[in-house]
Structure 1
Amino acid sequence: MELHRHTYYRLIHHGIKCLLVDRLGHFTEHEYHDYLNHMTGKSSCFAMSNDELKVTVSNLREEGYLEDIKLMISSLEVY
């Protein structure tokens, strides 16, 4: 799967938001950055390499936090 960087940013933000709401019952930007740092060692997607973005999206998909938009992901692929 090859997507534009900004698409990965949106997917990661959406997935972590769903994860935090599921696990904590709420979401804040501060918690988003803390959790992203916990997952990847980086508190911003901008600081991540393309491979790190792909792995993070893959992990969120495997955990089920991108299920609601899984069908849309394939339509966003760049060929």
Structure 2
Amino acid sequence: MQRLISDVDKDKFQAILVWKISRLSRNMLDTLALLDKFEEYEIKFISYSENFDTSSPIGKLVVQLMASIAE
């Protein structure tokens, strides 16, 4: 996780792809903090098996629900 954050800070990514949001983190606060960091660096977040758009309010709500369930 620390390596991912370090590489995000170095602007190494255009997108982050995960199988499910639960693979990103098992902690809802960590997941939301990472998603905020991705947004700050304009990195697109893609969950392969779950379809949501984090650029819309509904998409952000879905992500929060999924992160809560993953926890």
TM class by smaller structure? 0.3 to 0.5
Q: Which structure shows the higher helix fraction?
A: 1
Could you tell me the TM-score, scaled by structure 1's length? 0.33
Length-normalised TM-score, structure 2: 0.36
Larger Cα-atom Rg: 1
